[in-house]
Structure 1
Amino acid sequence: MEGRGLNRTISSVVAGVAGVVLALAAGAACAQAEAPKYGGNLEIGSMYPTISALSWDLADWNWKQNYDTGQVYEQLFAADLSKARRNGGKYPFQADAWLPEDAIRGELAESWKWVDPLTLEVKLRKGVKFPAKAGVMEERELVADDVVFSYNRQNTSAKKIPTYYDHLNKVEATDKYTVVFRFKAFNAEWDYRFGWGYYSGIMPKEVAAAGAGNWKNVNGSGPFLLSNFVQGTASTYTKNEQYWDSDKIAGKDYKLPFVDKVVLRTVKDESTRNTMLRTGKLDVLESVRWTAVDELKKNAPALKWSRWLSTNGQYVALRVDTKPFNDLRVRRALNMAVNKQEIVKQFYGGNAELFAYPQHPDYAGYFEPLSAMPDSVKELFAYNPDKARKLLAEAGYAKGFTFKVQVCACQPEHLELLPLIGAYLEQVGVRIEIQPMEYGAFLSAMTTRTNAPGYLMSNGHTNPTTTIRKSFVKGQVWNAAQWGDAKYEQRVNEAFQMRDLGRRQEALRSLTRDVLADAPYIWLPTPYVYTAWWPWVKNYNAELRAGAVRPGPIYARMWVDQDMKKKMGF
């Protein structure tokens, strides 16, 4: 941990903190108005602490690419962080892949308009530069051809998510700074699909030619340059001196980014991560389990905290294309056999919500609470082992059965939770065989549709429409249950073509109720997560995503008060 004083004792840290707590409190009111200071490093404990970068090539369509490359590769749109809560706005910007319509700004796009109902025109910013990179490219301006190239490269990738760009007929550059998107049909996710979503990064063709999968070739127009990568340890990003954007603080514009370097740490051991935070070797730890919070608050009282409901839904997917899970009675029985209320109270210590997936409570207009659901849904969240046994007997499984459940070894919480689920199921005669898997093999099992009949998954809510499409339309990558219904899919397609927001929300509420009742999953509670950071980290209030799992624009706006850090003994 470079220059972080590894021999510093915990007691000296706490003593140093205690000496400035009162001063920090007194100065809090004016902290928001203070001018930013340039320089220094920002050490961040990753949101996905056990998973290194999966690929640096955007055409590999890995879900985590924006988290790793979004500091370097920009997109047409991004979150309007001026509307964050810390700036007096209403948005926490914590959702994994949802930007409300009034919280989107142009990033590479300077402006955009609908020329007609099926033609979108985007005007690009002028003067945005790709910096020179030895062996890859000379410095040059980003132009419309780069957007077209990036779209076509994504669209022709063998790893593309099925149907993802089917709403588009053509993307073309009509002049140096204008990109026109010609639609086959309107799609409510148009801005997410190739604007600010998971697969929207703009890559220069020179990087693709040099080998986009090699981290040493990565080069984009964003606030940082990828300067080092050590698998399983860290990704290091250094300041892009040619970055075009600025941030307005107290009415004055400041060139971005503020810090010289961002180090994104991958630390698999949970206790090690927490120790690194407590001793100041991490400035920010983006994801902290509730079990560690009280001790950290006691031993590092100056830490600042945010508690947020996880944007990952949890479930055991039940493959409906295999027996016995092709029988609705069996799927419903397994839901009733698991005491979900007890999981909330005992396993999570109350730090979870019983019902918060597939729609997230933050999705106003789309989310309906359990109390508003039909009885066919409410019943799945009520512990009823007697009825579970009855349904299993009716389905021909009075003596129960055994099935395999795969779980990712990268998620300690799931390794602890699955035996508890197994104990509940055993009470109704159903036994599970637990198969822990390393992340690569675990993910591959799902994407190749070779996963076991049971599959314990933590899956992003994404946004109000994608959460339904990606998980419950047949053939979609994230549909681990292989659930599908032709009429249901038609309703999904119809909802996506609705321009009227109210009608679309009503349609999604109906689709959500129906798939919940059909129980392709054992629905599980959604836990709360914490983010912690030291008060020397400025211009930050636990914002996590400025697009689909993309923190880059947030990191660019954070700065480190080095004087405060030294006064606190670090």
Structure 2
Amino acid sequence: MKMLAIAAATLLALSGAAQAQPKPATAPAAAEKPQYGGALSVANVYYTISPLTFDSADMAWKFNQDTGLVYEQLFVADLSKARRNGGKYPFVSDSFLPPDSLKGELAEKWELKQNPWRLEVQLRKGIQWPAKPGIMAARELVADDVVYSFDRVNKSPKKIPTYWDHVSRIEVTGKHSFTMHFSSYNAEWDYRWGWGYYSAIVPKEVMEAGAKDWKNVSGTGPYALTNYVQGNQMTFTKNPAYWDSETIGGAPYKLPFADTITYRYIKDESTALTALRTGKIDIMEAVRWSAVDELKKSAPKLQWNKIISNNGSYITLRMDQKPFDDVRVRRALNMAINKPEIIKAYYGGNAEMLGFPMHSSWGGYYEPLAEMPESVRELYTFNPTKAKQLLAEAGYPNGFSFKTQTSSASLDNDLLALIAAYLAKVGVKMEIQVMEYSAYLSAMTTKTNAAGYFLQAGLNNPTTSLRKTFVTKQTWNPSQHSDPEFDKKMAEVYAEPDERVRQIKVKLMTREILDKAPHIFLPVPHVYTAWWPWVKNYGGELRAGADRPGPIHARVWIDQEMKKKMGF
């Protein structure tokens, strides 16, 4: 306890200095007058993975990415504060939006109150659900729709455990107003039901008509889903009755701009890159570092943005099974892998050693590897001699065998072969099992996954990254890490309203979890976003909510004359 107190005091003293300062804002370019019309084609961040479901109650992590042009939420990123507009936010994190980067979407105004804790919300008036022949007549969005949407996911058998335990009830206080009553404060109150993965406001009529059928999808958003070819593309057509506008050059413009938006799904990376190079794709949100140099030569007009991936990269080790119930074995496997060599040889230097479970863009929550305790730094140092020693001490002098599962949608499965070669040198044989994504995901969600499970999973935000990955029985915890004391600390973090105190607690918990080595921690690569210069009102932004690019794409306009002059 004394050492913990000293560590906390040290972090408190350093917290102000350690926070990463935002990069200077980019001066906004001179505003061009938007053009209406044209078609926008996008390969999303996860362009290799087709939609998983169109039913909000399935609580699929990809739901927002696939339906965020149709279904809206209470809150959304204020894109006027993007760096390209002179603001300080890149809007690339999969689900981290600082409070001052938010604005109301369906919510016109809101207030978080204490004694007791509650959220009072006033919805915008006059927002319409469009008519859907055979399903629903056009009608106004009302507070009952919010309550229905929340109750539907909260009662879902697929609900994430503890996710909305802080919500005691929702009370409709008027046609366009409601109060969400909290049993306790939760630091993620706005994320979990406001702009999060499962915050979409959906109409009862559509859900009851058959929520899983894409043809039934209908929302208040800027576009309607008009075509879906599984494994190929989704096409969205503009909603002429959409309510929102965008201010450009001091003048308001009705949204959206493009007539149609197509989301492309392409499993083969080379095919996707060819589509980008030939102008069949206007925006490719995730380009691997290895493709960038060639694209800059063959398509020099492409515009670029570079970030550290929001996905942690690691192999989870089932701590509820031998041999991975022994921390010595888990630490040994980490030391057996030459991580600096992976950065140099596999990623060509385009990777960071420590990017999980905290992302370096999270300011006061992130602690560089150089400032970590020696026992943590040791896990990132190649030391096969000590790895063999630890395996022998744990009773495995001749090593052992285990299986690692991965998805066929992953572009980095060849990395696993490299890792297997490193492990073989200390006597450990790793069998690699490649699975179709649906079966791969099901293995984790049903907790039937193998002893090893290769993940490149979104970090989300500082508190969610720890909660979903390491709290007992959480869905995205394939290592089956379970520690009542850690769970208690996580609950205390969520109950803490003071962000500075939360940052200190999160740093200490991060040190603790890294030291336990529940995963083989791998370097986190740099990724790039590319777009053609005819794509306007865009600067590489990826998310306006939790994995939700829809509001960004709705604000993009196409300079059709430029596109023609460039031969596309």
TM-score, structure 1 as length reference = 0.94
Work out whether residues 311 and 461 of structure 1, in 8 Å CA contact, stay in contact via their aligned partners in 2: yes
Whether 1:370 and 2:369 are equivalent positions in the alignment is: yes
- 1:175 corresponds to: 174
Whether 1:131 and 2:126 are equivalent positions in the alignment is: no
TM alignment of 1:285-364, pairs within 5 A: 285-364=284-363
- Among candidates 97, 107, 117, match of residue 109 of structure 1: 107
Letter in 2 for 1:540: Y
- 2:13 corresponds to: none
TM alignment of 1:7-46, pairs within 5 A: 32-46=30-44
Q: Distance in 2 between matches of 1:33 and 1:487?
A: 54
SS of corresponding position for 1:173 = strand
- 2:273 corresponds to: 274
Instruction: Give how far 1:110 is off.
Output: 0.5
- 2:97 corresponds to: 99
- Among candidates 63, 66, 73, match of residue 64 of structure 2: 66
Instruction: Give how far 1:32 is off.
Output: 3.5
Say if 1:31 and 1:487 are closer, same or farther in 2 by CA, change over 3 A. closer
Work out whether residues 76 and 544 of structure 2, in 8 Å CA contact, stay in contact via their aligned partners in 1: yes
- 1:237 corresponds to: 236
SS of corresponding position for 2:168 = strand
- Among candidates 550, 555, 560, match of residue 557 of structure 1: 555
CA displacement 1:387-439 (0-9 Å, x = unmatched): 000000000000000001111111131x1100100001011110111111010
Q: Distance in 1 between matches of 2:76 and 2:241?
A: 19
Letter in 2 for 1:434: I
Letter in 1 for 2:49: I
Instruction: Give how far 1:46 is off.
Output: 2.3
Alignment length (residue pairs): 541
CA displacement 1:483-520 (0-9 Å, x = unmatched): 01001100000010000111111111111110000000
CA displacement 1:236-292 (0-9 Å, x = unmatched): 111011111111101111000000000000011111111111111111111111111
TM alignment of 1:195-274, pairs within 5 A: 195-274=194-273
- 1:403 corresponds to: 402
Whether 1:500 and 2:498 are equivalent positions in the alignment is: yes
Work out whether residues 71 and 220 of structure 2, in 8 Å CA contact, stay in contact via their aligned partners in 1: yes
Q: Distance in 2 between matches of 1:557 and 1:170?
A: 35
- 2:447 corresponds to: 449
Instruction: Give how far 1:101 is off.
Output: 1.2
- 1:530 corresponds to: 528
Q: Distance in 2 between matches of 1:208 and 1:404?
A: 40
Instruction: Give how far 1:47 is off.
Output: 1.5
Letter in 1 for 2:517: A
Instruction: Give how far 1:31 is off.
Output: 6.2
Work out whether residues 28 and 86 of structure 2, in 8 Å CA contact, stay in contact via their aligned partners in 1: no
Question: Any gaps of 5 or more consecutive residues in structure 1?
Answer: 1-28
SS of corresponding position for 1:365 = helix
CA displacement 1:145-166 (0-9 Å, x = unmatched): 0000000001001110111100
Instruction: Among all aligned residue pairs of Structure 1 and Structure 2, give the percentage whose two residues are the same amino acid.
Output: 59
Work out whether residues 332 and 391 of structure 2, in 8 Å CA contact, stay in contact via their aligned partners in 1: yes
Q: Distance in 2 between matches of 1:292 and 1:42?
A: 22
SS of corresponding position for 2:396 = coil
Instruction: Give how far 1:135 is off.
Output: 1.2
Work out whether residues 315 and 521 of structure 2, in 8 Å CA contact, stay in contact via their aligned partners in 1: yes
Question: Any gaps of 5 or more consecutive residues in structure 2?
Answer: 1-26
- 2:188 corresponds to: 189
Instruction: Give how far 1:196 is off.
Output: 0.3
- Among candidates 61, 72, 75, match of residue 73 of structure 2: 75
Work out whether residues 355 and 523 of structure 2, in 8 Å CA contact, stay in contact via their aligned partners in 1: yes
Following TM superposition, where does structure 1 have runs of at least 4 consecutive aligned residues deviating by more than 4 angstroms? Answer: none
- 2:543 corresponds to: 545
More off after superposition, 559-568 vs 404-413:
404-413
Q: Distance in 2 between matches of 1:535 and 1:324?
A: 53
Work out whether residues 232 and 264 of structure 2, in 8 Å CA contact, stay in contact via their aligned partners in 1: yes
Work out whether residues 29 and 84 of structure 2, in 8 Å CA contact, stay in contact via their aligned partners in 1: no
- Among candidates 419, 422, 428, match of residue 430 of structure 1: 428
Q: Distance in 2 between matches of 1:76 and 1:32?
A: 31
- 2:140 corresponds to: 141
Instruction: Give how far 1:30 is off.
Output: 9.9
Q: Distance in 2 between matches of 1:67 and 1:475?
A: 26
Whether 1:51 and 2:49 are equivalent positions in the alignment is: yes
Whether 1:514 and 2:494 are equivalent positions in the alignment is: no
SS of corresponding position for 1:221 = coil
Letter in 1 for 2:194: G
Q: Distance in 2 between matches of 1:369 and 1:470?
A: 22
RMSD: 1.0
Work out whether residues 32 and 539 of structure 1, in 8 Å CA contact, stay in contact via their aligned partners in 2: no
Work out whether residues 223 and 257 of structure 1, in 8 Å CA contact, stay in contact via their aligned partners in 2: yes
Q: Distance in 2 between matches of 1:411 and 1:30?
A: 36
Work out whether residues 49 and 267 of structure 1, in 8 Å CA contact, stay in contact via their aligned partners in 2: yes
Q: Distance in 1 between matches of 2:226 and 2:55?
A: 16
Q: Distance in 1 between matches of 2:416 and 2:309?
A: 18
More off after superposition, 107-116 vs 65-74:
107-116
Letter in 2 for 1:311: N
Letter in 1 for 2:396: Y
Instruction: Give how far 1:324 is off.
Output: 0.3
Work out whether residues 78 and 102 of structure 2, in 8 Å CA contact, stay in contact via their aligned partners in 1: yes
Letter in 1 for 2:180: F
